[in-house]
Amino acid sequence: MSKPSSRQSYDSLSPTLEQVAALAGVSRATVSRVVNGSPKVLPDTVAAVERAIVELGYVPNRAARALVTRRTDSVALVVPEPDSRVFSDPFFAGILRGVSSALAPTSSQLVLLIEPSAGDDQRLLRYLRGGHVDGAIIVSHHGRDNVLQELAQLPLPIVFSARPLGVEKPVASVDVDNVAGARTAVEYLLSKGRRKLGTVAGPLDMTAGIDRLTGYQQVMAEQGIPEAVAYGDFTADGGEQAALKLFDEHPDLDGLFVANDLMATAALRVISQLGRRVPEDVAVVGFDDSVVATTTTPKLTTVRQPVVQLGTRLAEILLAKIAGADLTGPEIFSTELIIRGSA
């Protein structure tokens, strides 16, 4: 008769910590330290425990582990936007890809928190205070009420996707140089001989909206050219309404900088509806270099921001803060102008 395998010799359908310890030839406490990622275990011992875990098919009890480590192995990606925008704007898909890639080698699970309903910020804050996650990444935040101040004050590792408006406490954030990116776009339009330049700006309760408008205004002031501004909300519908207003007030524009690609696609449609040609009559530059930039006719010249890398870096900083690192202050990525048919 053949000798039963180690797995067959145990009666339990769910292997226990004690069974792993017996197979590995170590104490239960040693197995616990390995499972919880303690650095105070010799490499040979770690290897023996890991072999036993694989052979037995042991799965750690997450609830018990949380009691020991005070960790949930979950992090939140907080997007205080309606779900209609989250699932229609390619920016969020890129951030999610980057965050997920950074979390993949770890045991951390991602929890997506979308704004539940208008004005219900306290529900979000209660969840984050409740110990459900080890930390949070805040993306696409607006400078309204006191919610950003309250988020920054939470006793929880937090990273923001841009500097939070109105928050005086030093916080960790990751962003691109939106001012420089907008300047590059406007300067490029000027270099192509355009002199009547307008902009469809983003909302002024968001860092990106403010900074991209600032870049446009800086160049216009330096060149002594009057401004032509209409405001959108980073959605296609908002961009369409802003473009209609802008061309109604300034029908002779020959260049247009739009604060994101979704609004730029709507602006291209408006220009066509007005019987004008792109780029012959109006040159257009967007911002993002999202997937929609290559689906327009003509294809969209745009300012590229490395969205996936931004998401990855947000998650890396959050994981470091959860592990005890004292990280504050902004990290800023550069942008790049991608030239296509619209300009």
Tens-digit pLDDT profile for residues 311-331:
999 999 999 999 888 888 899
- Helix runs in the chain, H state only: 17-24, 28-35, 43-56, 62-69, 83-86, 90-103, 121-129, 147-153, 178-191, 207-223, 236-249, 261-273, 307-322
pLDDT in the model for residue 145: 54
Q: Is the pLDDT of residue 65 over 60?
A: no
| pTM confidence score | 0.78
Q: Is the pLDDT of residue 96 over 50?
A: yes
pLDDT in tens, 78-87: 988 878 788 8
pLDDT in the model for residue 337: 98
Q: With contact defined as beta carbons under 8 Å apart, do 117 and 65 qualify?
A: no
Q: What is the mean pLDDT of residues 231-249?
A: 97
More confident site: 255 or 1: 255
Hey, what's the torsion of the CAs at 21, 25, 27, 33, to 10 degrees?
A: -70
Q: Is the pLDDT of residue 30 over 50?
A: yes
Instruction: Check if CATH label 1.10.10.10 holds for domain 178-305.
Output: no
- Name the residue type at position 35: V
The pLDDT confidence band at residue 144, using thresholds 50, 70 and 90, is low
Q: What is the mean pLDDT of the chain?
A: 88
Which CATH fold topology does 17-69 show? Answer: 434 Repressor (Amino-terminal Domain) (1.10.260)
Q: Are 74-176+308-333 and 178-305 in the same CATH fold?
A: yes
Q: Where exactly are the structural domains of the chain? A: 17-69, 74-176+308-333, 178-305
Distance between CA atoms of 146 and 149, rounded to whole angstroms? 5
The pLDDT confidence band at residue 119, using thresholds 50, 70 and 90, is low
Q: What is the mean pLDDT of residues 151-155?
A: 83
Percentage, residues of the chain above pLDDT 90? 61
More confident site: 8 or 224: 224
Domain 74-176+308-333 CATH superfamily: Response regulator (3.40.50.2300)
Enumerate the β-bridge partners of residue 110.
75
pLDDT in the model for residue 62: 55
